[in-house]
Structure 1
Amino acid sequence: MAAEQKEMSFLGHLEELRWHLVRSAAAIFLLAIVFFVFAKQVYTHFLLAHLQPDFITYQLFCDFFDLFGMDSAFCSINFGEKKLQSIKVTSQLMNSIWSSLILGVIVAFPYILWEIWRFISPGLTEREIKKSRGFILIASFLFFIGVFFSFYVIAPISIQFLYNYQITEAIENSFTLESHIGLVTNMLLGVSVLFELPVLIYFLTKIGLITPAFLRKYRKHALVVVLILAAIITPPDVASQVIVAIPILILYEISIRVSARVIKNQEKNANKS
């Protein structure tokens, strides 16, 4: 009888998890529908915005280098009159559907976190719930900082570099819609996930897999890993990789302090008990 109750309890948790996943998926699909309906505006003002010579990042970088009397390629951005190529009959339709889903995931991220929190919170103590109330806010803040950073810093630098890189004049650049949108969306998601590092370290420390001493000991190794990740996310130019690596290394240092704070709180609670 006890085994049957345990089994029913397990099935009940699976049922609850299923509904959390269903609601999260529904939120993503509803947002994706909105983005799909307004696909022209989304592509013009967001996904293809970096192809405009007057994009704000190019202007700011140009002004920055002008302050030091330095010439910069950002002051003479020119992507020419060429348009992105759509070489398959279904390319534009499938690309708009896929990009709408990705944007749906990005915008629905706080709600997805909230559904995850609703699922795991019944298994936490009142003290743990009280201390973790800021989880959704902090994780969402870091995620959207990553979105902002990738859209206004990494993407324009990468696109400017890649669109103007040419081995020889005998080779003409003619990019497809899928390659451009894939580059932008991969950066948005990839960099944003990397910005969740302090949150990840918090939970790994809570369950005893990570300590601040471990993070400090392998700081140099982490630097190598960060540079490799930066090389994967960005095009093969040193400037973009360094720009990506710097904030991630800052997040790594923040993660060390987060881990130390978790250990300190755990030791304090152990002494009280």
Structure 2
Amino acid sequence: MGSPDRENSESYADHLEVLRGKIISVLAFFCISAVLLFSFAEATAAFLLAPLEGLGVTLYYFRPYEKLLTYMRLAFWGGMVLTAPLVLVQGWLFLRPALRRSEARYLLLGGGIVPVLFAAGSAFAYRVIAPLALRFFLAFGEGDNILPLWGFGEYASFLFSLLLASGLVFQAPLLLLALLLSGIVSLRTITRLRPWIILSIGLLAALLTPPDVVSQVLLGVPLYLLFELTLALARIVIGRRDGSG
């Protein structure tokens, strides 16, 4: 019979080997995704330019390598976004044997909701916030002798940052739900702080959109509805959990 220390050492080595395999698969998927995105650079450019339709804006690049470097950056960050769901899946598969059934269920549910919320937030920014912001910037530039000359690299960075920020902001309801279900924050506390939370949503919408009421309402209202939906879902889950306890 082997000693407990040796068995624990072998078990630890097996876990590391499994983790190593999952990391290799994630890195391989990321590399393939990034290469494919770079190979279809023209399609990526068409996707980026869509919010500019009808605005009469032409993009330029000011350094010989700027266009190539921008495509490489987009391929890298696009590969990261595409790989994120695989990271969640591989992480859940690695942790699953050590979790209780209820923990595994909640983690699986949360891991499935994260990409959905991120995609919804990014799509909302792409379809609504970005066109409004670009129109505002163009309107702000009128009325003097300073003419706009937009660079491709800066525009791509602006649009990708906007999509990323909106996708991350839409994760807030999931974070709030996790805090409520874990008991770190109570429903009573959140209900009492509702006016301040609504104010915070309004301030966040003002920071992420151009300074006009329409843009702020278009972002603030969905965030507020997500907040109320999160509270309603938390009440249902907590009520069932307490009722069965």
TM-score, length-scaled by structure 2:
0.84
Q: Return the alpha-carbon distance in structure 2 between the equivalents of residues 103 and 114 of structure 1.
A: 18
When the two structures are aligned, how many residues end up with a matched partner?
243
**Secondary structure of 1:85's match?**
coil
User: Which residue of 59, 63, 68 corresponds with 1:84?
Assistant: 59
Shift of 1:257: 2.0
| Contact 1:36/1:97, CA 8 A, preserved across alignment | yes
Q: Return the alpha-carbon distance in structure 2 between the equivalents of residues 209 and 10 of structure 1.
A: 32
| Contact 2:177/2:231, CA 8 A, preserved across alignment | no
Question: What aligned pairs does 1:201-212 form with structure 2 within 5 A after superposition?
Answer: 201-212=176-187
Q: Does 1:177 align with 2:152?
A: yes
- What residue is the counterpart of 2:96 in the other structure? 121
| Contact 1:142/1:196, CA 8 A, preserved across alignment | yes
Deviating above 4 A after TM superposition, structure 1's stretches of 4 or more consecutive aligned residues are 1-19, 130-133
- What residue is the counterpart of 1:188 in the other structure? 163
Question: What aligned pairs does 1:65-214 form with structure 2 within 5 A after superposition?
Answer: 78-80=55-57, 83-130=58-105, 133-166=108-141, 168-214=143-189
TM-score, length-scaled by structure 1:
0.76
- Cα 1:22–1:203 change in 2 (3 A) is farther
Shift of 1:129: 3.0
Of 85-94 and 13-22, more deviation after overlay is shown by 13-22
| One-letter identity of the residue aligned with 2:80 | V
Q: Return the alpha-carbon distance in structure 2 between the equivalents of residues 111 and 130 of structure 1.
A: 18
- What residue is the counterpart of 1:48 in the other structure? 49
Paired-residue identity, %: 25
Q: Return the alpha-carbon distance in structure 2 between the equivalents of residues 195 and 107 of structure 1.
A: 17
Shift of 1:220: 1.9
Of 169-178 and 218-227, more deviation after overlay is shown by 218-227
| Contact 1:212/1:257, CA 8 A, preserved across alignment | no
Unaligned runs of 5+ in 2: none
Q: CA RMSD in A?
A: 2.8
Q: Return the alpha-carbon distance in structure 1 between the equivalents of residues 138 and 49 of structure 2.
A: 13
1:129-185 alpha-carbon deviations (Å, 9 max, x no partner): 346544443333222222221111111111122133226422111111122111211
